[in-house]
Amino acid sequence: MGCGADEVVAALRAAAVVVAEHREELVRLDRAIGDGDHGENLHRGFSAVVSKLDGSAPATPGAVLKLAATTLISTVGGAAGPLYGTAFLRAATAVGDAPELDAALVAGALRAALEGVVARGKAVVGDKTMVDALTPAVTAAEDVAEGGVDVAAVLAAAAGAAEEGARSTEPLVARKGRASYLGERSAGHLDPGAWSTSLLLRSFAGGAR
Amino acid sequence: MIGLVVVSHSRRLAEGVAELAGQMAPDVRIAPSGGDGSGGLGTDYAAVAEAISRADSGGGVVVLYDLGSARMVAEMAAEEAGTPVVVADAPLVEGAVAAAVAAQGGASADEVAAAARAAYHAGATPAFAAPDTDPLAGAAGDAEVPAPSTEDAVRSDVVLTNDVGLHARPAALVARALAGLDARVLVRYGEQEADAASVLALMGLGAPGGARVEVVATGPDAAEAVRRVSALAARNFDE
Ligand SMILES: Nc1ncnc2c1ncn2[C@@H]1O[C@H](COP(=O)(O)OP(=O)(O)O)[C@@H](O)[C@H]1O
Ligand SMILES: [Mg+2]
């Protein structure tokens, strides 16, 4: 099965459902080391993406991702708004106007998304941010994409690595974002942005939970 | 003239900082952008983009921000803006005041941003402290211009006959009067001295009405610099 605009739309709708289901959890995580709005921010953003997609369905995967990006930028707020917005924007640019995504394009889009997040937020692995989830996800996606697998397998590999990366943030002391103001007290909690990255990739992979 | 945008998570903070900075720079367009757009704390991309166009009068805009995520929003808006925008990594309150005064003096966007950043170090320092006891000495990249040597300086005692002394508005007038002159000017009050180009440093002297300060200048325009400061004081800073 190919991955055209309709499948990307479906993935974003699935992401919105997952974000809604995990809203409280993300709020709780962000309350521990931030200001408690991460779940609300993403819920607002992905709900807006869904209503945009209800109104108009762009013709290519890239155009769908671009619509998601601009919607997230103007609705999410917080640090996650510019970061996820930039991620989706770079992913959209990376896939260009290809009518269908294959494994290599998806891995390339994830790579571009990571580069966008790093350019915007200047975080490196170990700073206790979404970069800690996205970085291993990209590496895993690229590894399996080389083996000539399908898009689902690339996303599954990315989701698995992202979850592991997100869990690795628990003992870390935050060095970027709002949590960094807590210093040592940020240790012992999962980073909300890393966790939402893991959830989003899991939902894209179709194994949402 | 460069415009300013103040981005804060709080609408009231953005407005207050803009008000404070505007007091020192009557002709500079200063646009506050604060809050999430629906009454809560946060930042609103569209509102920041709109504030940039409001602040722009053709020459470009310098943006100051409070917390890191506001910086990211500011940088995104800067990339999309149809005018040159510099996002200044500076303390919000002091940076905005310093930036406003620099903009009022006709500085370029880069100079305005540099003035904002330099506000970190703008406090008045004891005049006679040995360099290694100066808490600011050796701060990263701080290539300080050496203080005027005592021989070739032009100097004058000035009595502050106005009510408030070297408070915000008079200090801004002094800094503005010196803009464009090729001179290094210090104002000394008691044991303290301040770079007269820095409004914050001048205010930091705490020289009250009635105080006697010494103006010391070096460089090609030293005499003119001292003359301008003395003239301002003689006019009671137009109070
Ligand atoms: N500079 C940064 N680089 C990468 N990720 C960041 C950065 N700053 C914050 N984050 C991510 O954003 C998450 C917080 O998002 P959110 O709560 O929506 O924004 P805010 O911190 O402004 O309230 C953090 O958990 C972290 O993963
Ligand atoms: Mg938050």
Closest atom, ligand 1, to C-alpha of A197: 27
* Contact between A74 and B42 using a beta-carbon 8 Å cutoff: no
Give the residue from B81, B24, B26, B16 showing the smallest Cα distance to B50.
B81
Domain count for chain A, please give it. Answer: 1
Tell me where in chain B the CATH 3.40.50.510 domain(s) lie: 3-118
Q: Is the ipTM, as predicted for this complex, more than 0.90?
A: no
Percent pLDDT > 90 in chain B is: 59
User: Which CATH number covers residue A80?
Assistant: 1.25.40.340
Tell me the average pLDDT across A67-72. 97
pLDDT score, position B203: 85
Active-site residue, from B9, B71, B184, B188: B9
Q: Is the pLDDT of residue B36 over 50?
A: yes
**Contact residues of ligand 1, CB 6 A cut-off:** A 30, 34-35, 37-38, 41, 78-80, 83, 117, 121-123, 129-131, 176-178, 191-194; B 68-69
Q: Could you read off the pLDDT of B163-179 as tens digits, one per residue?
A: 888 888 888 889 889 98
CATH H-level superfamily of B132-238 = HPr-like (3.30.1340.10)
- In chain B, residues under CATH classification 3.30.1340.10 are 132-238
Is the CB of A82 less than 8 angstroms away from the CB of B46?
no
Contact list, B43 vs chain A (CB under 8 Å): 77-78, 81
The whole-chain average pLDDT of chain A stands at 95
Q: What local confidence, expressed as pLDDT, does residue B147 receive?
A: 52
Mean of the per-residue pLDDT values of chain B: 86
**What is the pLDDT at residue A209?**
32
Rounded mean pLDDT, A49-65: 96
Nearest to B67 among A37, A82, A178 (CB): A178
Say what the pLDDT of residue A1 is. 55
- Tell me which residues of chain A have a C-beta less than 8 Å from any C-beta of chain B: 35, 37, 73-74, 77-79, 81-83, 85-86, 120-121, 176-178
**Domain containing residue A40:** 5-207
pLDDT number for residue B125 = 40
* pLDDT number for residue B144: 44
> Quick check: A43 pLDDT over 80?
yes
Average pLDDT over residues A7-22: 97
Report the CATH superfamily, name and number, of domain B3-118. Phosphotransferase system, mannose-type IIA component (3.40.50.510)
Nearest to A141 by CA among A170, A107, A167, A117: A107
Residue A113: per-residue pLDDT: 98
Q: Percent of chain A beyond pLDDT 70?
A: 98
- B9 catalytic? Reply is yes
pLDDT, average across residues B42-62: 96
Q: At CB < 8 A and 24+ separation, what contacts does B41-44 make?
A: B41/A35, B41/B9, B41/B10, B42/A37, B42/A77, B42/A78, B42/B9, B43/A77, B43/A78, B43/A81, B43/B7, B43/B9, B43/B69, B43/B70, B43/B73, B44/A74, B44/A77, B44/B73
B56-72 pLDDT, tens digit each:
999 999 999 999 899 99
pLDDT tens across B175-201, in order? Answer: 889 988 999 999 999 888 999 988 888
More confident residue, B114 or A118: A118
Q: Which chain A residue lies closest to B66 (C-alpha atoms)? A: A178
pLDDT of residue B199: 84
Spatial separation of the C-alpha atoms in residues B98 and B94, rounded to whole Å: 6
Residue A60 has pLDDT above 90, yes or no: yes
Mutate to test the pocket of ligand 1, among A19, A30, A131 (most ligand atoms within 8 A of CB): A30
* CA of residue A154 to ligand 1 center, whole Å: 26
Flag whether pLDDT at B141 surpasses 60. no
d(CA A150, nearest CA chain B) in Å: 34
Which of A120, A127, A130 should be substituted to probe chain B, the one whose Cβ sees the most B Cβ atoms within 10 Å?
Answer: A120
For B103-113, what is the mean pLDDT? 91
Among the listed ranges A74-83, B28-37, B137-146, which one has the minimum average pLDDT value? Answer: B137-146
Mean pLDDT of A141-167: 96
